[in-house]
């Protein structure tokens, strides 16, 4: 069965549960605090300056580190579980009214998946360390204003449609102001270099740069704000979307299914970072990540502002939110948006500013504070600033425990927990971004990250 645009986009993240950078299982156990902690290939996308630091591995590699999660600041655990596990269950009128209320939120749903398929870092004498990796990143964010949530779950019976007339109907930009539906799937090939810039007895400064070639597997970016409607999508043939009559339009750049991920866009990104060590205890880090742009061309459609039209349907009738919402917000016949084919669309990457401070008390105990700020509002970026305090503690040489506290990026205050088995050459671990979220009945956050094939050899002096 062919899927409509939004259903395909939002269905992808339901294959896993995530948050930002969850493929780094060691960082996940500290709640995402990594700017001063991350080393070797794990520094890619976080702070390439750490590749030039003293104490890093001379050679490190992995095959498969991954993480996944889902969270909401509006839904209850019961509602979230039903969306994930009981999607076919039908909604009563009371259910629809309650979901319309709870989905009225600027953080109704946040779902991300992050996986490093392979990573490698090598120290080069006299130069620094070079790292490469391949990473899959999937991020999505759903925010609905009151009208959008009521239309989604009540359809033609939503209050805004009472006494409806096309002549007096408001514009979509007015009725849905504050609504955001965003998703991006990127396939990245990364290379980064870090080197020592200053090497004094008590102060060492390292700098790093990273480059990534990005294949765009798919994107949906729908935002209604400040009197404007910005809505576009470009999806790989992998999703088998039915574009209907749009395929006959000569302006539509149709990409047909063949094999593999079949990217429909490409781009180039850059990371810049600095890492300062003062004495043997204090570490400071500063980085800007994901500078650059994507160009989307294949299967590209866009939508503009228009009069709000009354739906024919009664809205979402089951907990299958992802698929049924597509009939309302995407290019279906009963949609609030009129999509048109486009030739190309240039979009900025989800740029972030990262700043961190760390204190290495001993080889058994280290703590750090991170602040991450989104520098734009494009699909795939965190939806709000992130702040976290992280701790690594080794009660014995072969076991590292991680924890801390973090907040922001579209999530509530969370308490992470990580457990890593470590030897001189091997690490394996599992972690969660929020222990409390696993147990909470209100505003739950479920996450997991793991890595079982991480190897490190030698140490940079």
CA nearest 377: which of 268, 258, 226, 245?
226
Cβ burial, residue 340 (10 Å; 0-12/13-18/19+): middle
Whether the pTM exceeds 0.75: the reply is yes
The H-assigned helical ranges of 330-431 are: none
pLDDT, tens digit, 9 for 90 and up, residues 205-257: 999 999 999 999 988 888 899 999 988 888 888 877 777 777 888 888 888 77
Cα separation, 327 vs 157, whole angstroms: 16
Q: CA-CA distance, 412 to 147, in Å (whole number)? A: 25
What is the rounded distance in angstroms from the CA atom of residue 415 to the CA atom of residue 29? 9
How far apart CA 202 and CA 277 sit, in angstroms, is 8
Closest CA to 85 of 96, 95, 66, 70: 70
191: three-class secondary structure by DSSP? strand
Mean pLDDT of the chain: 86
Q: Categorise residue 304: left if φ over 0, alpha if ψ from -120 to 50, beta otherwise.
A: beta
Question: Of residues 193 and 85, which shows the higher confidence score?
Answer: 193
- Spatial neighbors of 369 by CB under 8 A, at least 6 apart, are 33, 356, 357, 358, 387, 388, 389, 390
Each residue's pLDDT tens digit, 403-444: 999 888 766 788 899 999 999 899 999 998 888 766 665 667
Nearest partner of 371 among 384, 389, 355, judged by Cα: 355
pLDDT tens profile 29-39:
888 889 999 99
- Of the listed ranges 73-77, 290-294, 358-362, the least confidently predicted one is 73-77
d(CA 350, CA 352): 7
Spatial separation of the C-alpha atoms in residues 325 and 318, rounded to whole Å:
10
Which of the four pLDDT bands, split at 50, 70 and 90, describes residue 21?
Answer: low
Residue of 254, 255, 236 whose CA lies nearest to 245: 254
Give the tokens for residue 35. 């700017």
Return left, alpha or beta for 239; rule: phi > 0 is left, psi -120 to 50 is alpha, else beta. Answer: alpha
Is residue 17 within 8 A of residue 69, CB to CB? The reply is yes
The DSSP secondary structure of 155-215, one letter per residue, reads GGGSGGGTT--TTTPPBHHHHTTTEEEEEEEEEEEEEEEEEEEEE-SSEEEEEEEEEEEEE
CA terminus-to-terminus distance, the chain: 58
Question: Residues 162-209: pLDDT tens digits?
Answer: 988 888 899 999 999 999 988 888 899 999 999 999 999 899 999 999
Cα radius of gyration (the chain) = 23
Contact yes or no for 110/19 (Cβ under 8 A): yes
Residue 384 · residue 392 · CB < 8 Å: no
391-413 pLDDT tens trace:
999 999 999 999 999 888 766 78
């Amino acid at each position: 069965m062919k899927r409509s645009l939004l259903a395909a986009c939002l269905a992808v993240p339901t294959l896993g549960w995530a948050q930002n950078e969850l493929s780094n299982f060691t960082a996940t156990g500290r709640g995402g605090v990594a700017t001063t902690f991350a080393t070797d290939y794990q520094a890619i996308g976080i702070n390439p300056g750490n590749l030039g630091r003293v104490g890093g591995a001379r050679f490190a590699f992995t095959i498969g580190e991954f993480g996944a999660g889902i969270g909401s600041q509006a839904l209850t655990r019961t509602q979230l579980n039903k969306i994930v596990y009981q999607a076919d269950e039908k909604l009563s009128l009371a259910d629809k009214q309650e979901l319309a209320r709870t989905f009225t939120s600027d953080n109704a749903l946040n779902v991300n998946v992050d996986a490093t398929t392979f990573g490698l870092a090598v120290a080069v004498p006299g130069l620094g360390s070079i790292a490469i990796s391949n990473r899959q990143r999937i991020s999505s964010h759903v925010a609905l204003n009151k009208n959008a949530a009521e239309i989604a779950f009540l359809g033609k019976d939503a209050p805004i449609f009472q006494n409806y007339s096309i002549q007096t109907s408001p514009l979509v930009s007015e009725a849905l102001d504050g609504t955001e539906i965003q998703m991006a799937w990127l396939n990245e090939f990364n290379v980064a270099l870090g080197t020592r810039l200053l090497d004094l007895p008590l102060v060492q400064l390292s700098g790093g740069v990273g480059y990534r070639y990005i294949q765009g597997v798919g994107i949906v970016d729908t935002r209604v704000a400040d009197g404007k409607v910005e809505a576009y999508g470009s999806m790989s043939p992998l999703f088998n979307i039915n574009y209907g009559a749009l395929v006959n339009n000569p302006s539509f750049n149709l990409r047909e299914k063949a094999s593999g991920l079949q990217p429909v866009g490409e781009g180039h990104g850059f990371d810049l970072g600095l890492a300062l060590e003062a004495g043997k205890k204090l570490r400071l880090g500063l980085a800007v990540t994901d500078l650059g742009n994507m160009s989307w061309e294949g299967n590209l459609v866009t939508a503009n502002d228009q009069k709000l039209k009354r739906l024919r349907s009664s809205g979402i009738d089951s907990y299958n939110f992802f698929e049924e919402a597509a009939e309302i917000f995407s290019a279906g016949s009963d949609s609030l948006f009129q999509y048109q084919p486009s030739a190309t669309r240039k979009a900025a990457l989800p740029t972030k500013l990262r700043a961190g401070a760390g204190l290495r008390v001993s080889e058994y105990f280290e703590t750090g504070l991170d602040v991450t700020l989104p520098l734009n509002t494009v699909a795939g970026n965190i939806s709000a600033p992130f702040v976290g305090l992280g701790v690594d503690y080794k009660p014995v040489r072969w076991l590292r425990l991680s924890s801390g506290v973090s907040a922001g990026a579209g999530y509530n205050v969370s308490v992470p927990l990580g457990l890593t088995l470590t030897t001189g050459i091997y690490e394996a671990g599992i972690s969660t971004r929020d222990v409390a979220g696993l147990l909470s009945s209100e505003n739950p956050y479920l996450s997991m990250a793991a890595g079982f094939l991480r190897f490190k050899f030698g140490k940079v002096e």
